[in-house]
A and B are shown apart, each in its own frame.
Chain A
Amino acid sequence: MQVELVSPERITFSGEADKVVVRTVGGGDIEFLPRHVPFIGVLQVSAATVFSGSDMQVFAIHQGFVQMSGDKVTILSDVSEAKEDIDVARAEAAKSNAESAISADAEDAEAAGALKRAEVRLGVASGALPGFGGGH
């Protein structure tokens, strides 16, 4: 099946895949195989994994939508970064900034969001956790 990752500024990824795993706001991972039922879901800040054969590509997704229709998975996201594109140093800096902001004000939603994004970025960059933040 066809997979496309589309960000507002360009198409980040486009290709064939056997399986795609993303995480929706409901909190659960959802796995798309060919001929999945048509589906539209809202994604959380998380990682998306695209499997094709023995290959696996992980992308950091900063919210957005997934649409499965026909034989095509489209992931619309403000930011979708492949592992190679992630600036680890910047993500580390963002993470420590966010952490200090949270320690100053535990209710700081913006910092919490920034922390989550930085963690997902780092998780994807280190290649440690496809479907970062829990098993799938």
Chain B
Amino acid sequence: MPGAKERELRRRIGSVQSTKKITRAMELIAATRVVKAMQRANEAKPYATQVTGVIENLAAGGARVSHPLLREAEDVKRVGIIAITSDRGLAGSYNAAVIKAAERQLDAARTAGADYSLILIGKKAIDYFSFRNYKIDAQYTGMSDTPTYENAREVAQKVVDMFEAGELDRVELAYTEFITMGTQKVTVRRYLPLETAEKMADAGGGSSTALAQFEFEPSPGGVLESLLPRYMESRLYSALLEAAASEHANRQRAMKAATDNAEDLIIKLSREMNQARQASITTEIMEIVSGAEALGGDDAQATIKTILENTEGTSA
């Protein structure tokens, strides 16, 4: 008959075991999703590279334009901060790290005497900032898990509109860069205003064939004008894709750690339970033996012998 402590431990082992099953399943799911997210990020690369390539060619072709997205404000009155987080938790420090980076930007903007404007992607960032009574100018959920280009366009459009309307003078983008399966890094990049075409080209790594003299239709400026919004979307899209891959990689790691911990805990609890069981058996036998001895006589000796034989199996 199990004692109270033993029963309690058995119950806890059961609950840790079912937790382990869940974390293990989540680990496996995250592992497959990481692969998919990486694949999507890779598939999106040619477009980004090509768009940058066209910008390089434009720069080489001598496109000099003044586009609103290139407007460099002398006095930054309002800084926009885009933070890409996930809708769901259980991903280790993934969300906390991005939120912290975004909040640092926000503090820096306020210290410099500028106002801030938050554009938040993912429920976690929204929860964090709305709980602390920050004002949020735009919020998006349901897109960080498997972002589509449509999502990126929606957000980019909003930010570009705000920037062109003069509501924002500078925009920073905080997200988690996916470097390898094992390494993801929170980065804050300047999103707006854009560098000049020459600088973009220098930083680009696009597929430039700059030596050739290009013909442009309708004109270098006209091409750049319709290209820049695409470039903004494409940049946000790749950030979203990298963030999604990072999210799944982080979740996989967090869930693996949780599964390992559950295993350790089960071993520890089983040991404790066995000890408790052993202790209660010993106590029981002691009680019986002393009871029998108190009665005295040969009968008692025989009773003890029978009891010991019967309990041999269980007390082993």
- Please give the residue numbers on chain A whose beta carbons come within 8 Å of chain B beta carbons, in ascending order: 4, 6-11, 24-26, 30, 37-42, 63-65, 67, 69-70, 74, 76, 78
Contacts and interface: CB of A to CB of B under 8 A. Distances in A.
A8 B233 contact: yes
B216 A76 contact: no
B57 A69 contact: yes
A63 B233 CA distance: 15
A69 B47 contact: no
A37 B212 CA distance: 9
B43 interface: yes
B222 A6 contact: no
Contacts of A69: 57, 209, 212, 214
A65 B213 contact: no
A63 B227 CA distance: 11
B218 A7 contact: no
Contact of B223 (A6, A8, A40, A74): A40
Interface in B224-275: 226-227, 230, 233-234, 237
A24 B222 CA distance: 12
A76 B47 contact: yes
Interface of B: 40, 43-44, 46-48, 50-51, 53-54, 57-58, 61, 148-149, 152-153, 209, 212-218, 222-223, 226-227, 230, 233-234, 237
A40 B209 contact: no
Contacts of B50: 6, 67, 74, 76
Given A40-B54, A41-B223, A9 B149 contact: yes
Given A8-B234, A40-B57, A65 B227 contact: yes
A24 B217 contact: yes
Contacts, number: 88
Contacts of B216: 39-41
A38 B61 CA distance: 11
Contact of A67 (B44, B46, B54): B54
Contacts of A9: 40, 43-44, 47, 148-149
Nearest to B61: A40
Nearest to B153: A78
Given A9-B44, A42-B226, A37 B51 contact: no
A113 B77 CA distance: 37
A6 B47 contact: yes
B142 to A, nearest CB: 18
Nearest to B42: A10
A39 to B, nearest CB: 5
Given A9-B149, A42-B223, A70 B47 contact: no
A38 B140 CA distance: 41
Most chain A C-beta atoms within 10 Å of own C-beta, residue among B57, B216, B217: B217
Given A8-B44, A11-B43, A41-B223, A76 B217 contact: no
Nearest to A79: B149
Given A8-B149, A65-B227, A39 B47 contact: no
